[in-house]
Amino acid sequence: MNIDHTVCGAEKNSSRSCAMLWDESFLWGLMARQALREAKLPFDLLRSEDVRRGALSHYRMIFVPGGWASNKISALGDQGMGEIRRFVAGGGHYLGICGGAGMATQGGLDLLPVKRKPPSERVPSFSGPIRLCCIGKTMWREIDKPVFSAWWPSQFQADDPNVEVLARYEEAQPEAFSADINVTDGESIGWPGLEQRYGILLDPSRLHGEPAVLEGRFGLGKVVLSLVHFDTPGDRNGAIVLRNLWGPPSSWSPPDSPTGMKRNPGRCCDVVPKNILDSVEEIHAAIAELIATGRRNFLWHWRNPLLLQWRRGVRGLEYSTLAAMIGEIRRGLNHPDDAGPDRRSAVADKIDPRQWEEGLKEILGRLIPFCEKAKRLLIRERSYMMDAALSPVECPDAEISRLRRELFASAMNHGGDFKRLIDPMDRLLYQLIKEE
């Protein structure tokens, strides 16, 4: 999406390049934020309430990262959805990646006449690097070998001639996985037998030729939807594409968020209170022990600094999310001494001690029983796997099913005890990072 400022009606009232919608992104929001910062791109974090208040009028583009599209839609509500549609129709631009792309399809924002394939027709558990066949757009400028990361993407049904396919999938790379099977190993074992055993489509070759990146128009605005994560931290190709999408640096404005946090008039010191740091350490230790339980039981390992690679049958994304979010809170509060007094003071300035004490107390109150139940679940799932294949959706073991319902609810999108735990953690994290 090279922004054409001659047709971008939103440019008349815009002061900033991009607003990134934070709500219901969690781990994917952290990944996107880190990738944008690595690419040195200007952006502001917005929440749904900001969108509903008309904050998009300050921007040229809205970027919606990954996460469950249905949860994002619920957070925005009809008013927020309407604001985004008006923004794009008036000349604003929309970039959606993975869940953010799904939110823009039919049944969601309806920005493009595109559907998502039914789950039974998808390769639902692919993750890792995959090569693309890219159409000659300037967004691919300086990309020599078009390999990018996809993290458990949906799949598009795009038949409308007004929707342009900018990239299609080609071959999966050797480091990729389908479910918990390395693609090289899967080819050696044989995908047909594995698909029969797992009960889902696994063969990455089924993705070959399928659309991965789409572009179209909604009113005066341009819409780019991508199932590959250009916003994967450390991905040089992804950073290049993001910079190409942002347009020339001459069009960027200096940071001046209309929603930025005001200085806290009640701050009484230049350091984060020790009791807050101690509570964060306690939360971090509890989550670290939960992750260690899964590792001891050979249920997962760290694939990269933010994502676990988990075995088929267990939930891994939720545990990755907990570890990443508390890790970022901990990092944000514990800056090294050489960060300088101004930096340490700025962090402390964001901390309303009473609010943080209450929020951390709520998190600890929910986390301790969550971890106890989650450990029981992981150990029981490990035991069950010794005798039979385990599905992440249904299980004949009554105790496993009960614990799953309590911890995560019955659907794959975030719910249950996990959602009640992650929401207050997300609120504190947002306060800490939204001005950085």
Q: What is the pLDDT of residues 212-234, one digit of tens each?
A: 999 999 999 999 999 999 999 99
Cα–Cα distances in angstroms (integers) from residue 353 to residues 226, 335, 336, 344, 412, in the given order: 40, 18, 21, 15, 35
Mean pLDDT for 178-206 is: 96
pLDDT at 346: 65
**Per 3-state DSSP, what percentage of the chain is helix, strand, and coil (rounded to 5)?**
45, 15, 35
Which residues, at least 6 apart from 306, have a Cβ–Cβ distance to it below 8 Å? Answer: 27, 30, 31, 233, 320, 324
Helices marked H in 202-273 = 236-246
Cα–Cα distances in angstroms (integers) from residue 250 to residues 15, 16, 56, 246, in the given order: 13, 12, 21, 11
Q: Whole-angstrom Cα distance, residue 325 to residue 389?
A: 31
Instruction: Specify the pairing of strand 126-134 against strand 147-151.
Output: antiparallel
pLDDT at 8: 39
Q: For residues 200 and 435, which has the higher predicted lDDT (pLDDT)?
A: 200
Q: What is the pLDDT of residues 85-103, one digit of tens each?
A: 999 999 999 999 999 999 9
Mean pLDDT check: name the lowest of 204-208, 346-350, 376-380.
346-350
Task: Please determine, for residue 298, whether its predicted confidence score (pLDDT) is greater than 90.
Answer: yes
pLDDT at 352: 87
pLDDT at 190: 97
Q: Whole-angstrom Cα distance, residue 380 to residue 373?
A: 11
248: pLDDT confidence band, cut at 50, 70 and 90? Answer: confident
Q: Whole-angstrom Cα distance, residue 19 to residue 4?
A: 17
Q: Whole-angstrom Cα distance, residue 59 to residue 44?
A: 9
Residue 299 corresponds to which tokens in the numbers above?
């249920």
Q: What is the pLDDT of residues 409-424, one digit of tens each?
A: 987 788 999 999 999 9
Task: Please determine, for residue 347, whether its predicted confidence score (pLDDT) is greater than 60.
Answer: yes
**Number of CB atoms found within 10 A of residue 291's CB:** 17
269: pLDDT confidence band, cut at 50, 70 and 90? Answer: low
Q: Given phi > 0 = left and psi -120 to 50 = alpha, else beta, which region is 228?
A: beta
247: pLDDT confidence band, cut at 50, 70 and 90? Answer: confident
pLDDT at 261: 39
Mean pLDDT for 292-320 is: 96
Task: Please determine, for residue 32, whether its predicted confidence score (pLDDT) is greater than 80.
Answer: yes
Q: Given phi > 0 = left and psi -120 to 50 = alpha, else beta, which region is 351?
A: beta
pLDDT at 342: 54
pLDDT at 253: 60
Q: Given phi > 0 = left and psi -120 to 50 = alpha, else beta, which region is 42?
A: beta
pTM comes to: 0.90
Task: Please determine, for residue 37, whether its predicted confidence score (pLDDT) is greater than 80.
Answer: yes
Mean pLDDT check: name the lowest of 102-111, 247-256, 272-281.
247-256
pLDDT at 334: 85
Q: What percent of the chain has pLDDT over 70?
A: 88
pLDDT at 26: 96
- By the 8 A CB rule, do 198 and 313 touch? no
17: pLDDT confidence band, cut at 50, 70 and 90? Answer: confident
Q: What is the pLDDT of residues 161-173, one digit of tens each?
A: 999 999 999 999 9
Q: Whole-angstrom Cα distance, residue 217 to residue 88?
A: 9
Q: What is the mean pLDDT of the chain?
A: 90
Mean pLDDT for 52-63 is: 96
Q: What is the pLDDT of residues 148-161, one digit of tens each?
A: 999 999 999 998 99
Rg, C-alpha atoms of the chain: 22
Instruction: Write the DSSP string, 294-360.
Output: HHHTTSEEESSSS-EEE-TTS--HHHHHHHHHHHHHHHHH---GGG-HHHHHHHHHT--HHHHHHHH
Mean pLDDT check: name the lowest of 252-261, 363-372, 381-390, 424-433.
252-261
Task: Please determine, for residue 192, whether its predicted confidence score (pLDDT) is greater than 90.
Answer: yes
